[in-house]
Amino acid sequence: MRNSWYRFLPQKLIHFRFWKDEAAALRRSPDRHPLALLLVALTILFTGFVMFYTVLPSYLSIVAGADAAEVFIVYIASTAASTIFYPRAGRLVERVGARRAVLMAAAARLPLFLSFPLVLLIAHDLQAVLLFAALNGLAGVCWTAISVGSTVAVTELAPASKAEAVGAFHAVTGIGTIAGAMIAVFLVGPLGFEWLIVLSAMLIVVGIAFSVAARAKKSKEPPRASTHPVITTP
């Protein structure tokens, strides 16, 4: 009982606690390189995603002048779109493969994120809110493919224990969440909202590059279904 104190921690901190154990298990595996590259790629991708979404509410309220209800509309658009498209994301992953689905969806998020600062150049007030909601809804659709595809890809590349690989994957989501939020908080002041969004997009490009490297390291194989739950954070 004395050693079970960590059960009362938030889920992401629990995953972070076991990151060293999972990483050590991966290092012991002879076929670790593609999975290690994919985990690095996902860490960078999640960091970029969280950077963007950390500052988005402040950007909408301070720069775009949106009130609380309008910010809620923008955010609920992503949740609604992802809820509708999760089953289709599963079919997409089965059709094109998990790693390719992640690459396609992450690449599609790039122009969507970079379009947010451009909205105020062409629209204001309610029109701007609707455009923000449309962009975020499309980003939510992309997230379904990233969420499902990354979970399946990790299990496909698992060299031995799928449970260890999925544990490492969830640790990665925690690391990306913590790093993305901290970078956003510390840099939004000196850089400003627009340049921070550009920086998040640059991180996504780096993450995509690592994803391509992970894909090149592993020979093509038919995607396998995963029974593990997908993550539900942006």
SS (H, E, C) 147-203: HHHHHHHHHHHCCCCHHHHHHHHHHHHHHHHHHHHHHHHHHHHHHCHHHHHHHHHHH
Give residue 180's pLDDT. Answer: 93
Please give the residue that has the higher pLDDT: either 221 or 40: 40
Q: What is the pLDDT of residues 48-77, one digit of tens each?
A: 999 999 999 999 999 998 899 999 999 999
Q: Which two tokens stand for residue 184?
A: 């956003």
* Residue 188 to residue 139: CA distance in whole angstroms: 21
Q: Decide if pLDDT at 17 tops 80.
A: no
Q: How far apart are the first and last CA of the chain?
A: 34
Domain 32-216 bears CATH identifier 1.20.1250.20: yes
Would you say 41 and 214 are in contact if contact means Cβ atoms under 8 Å apart? yes
Q: What is the pLDDT of residues 74-131, one digit of tens each?
A: 999 999 999 999 989 989 999 999 889 999 999 999 999 999 999 988 888 889 999 9
Q: What is the pLDDT of residues 147-199, one digit of tens each?
A: 999 999 888 887 777 777 888 888 888 899 999 999 999 999 999 999 999 99
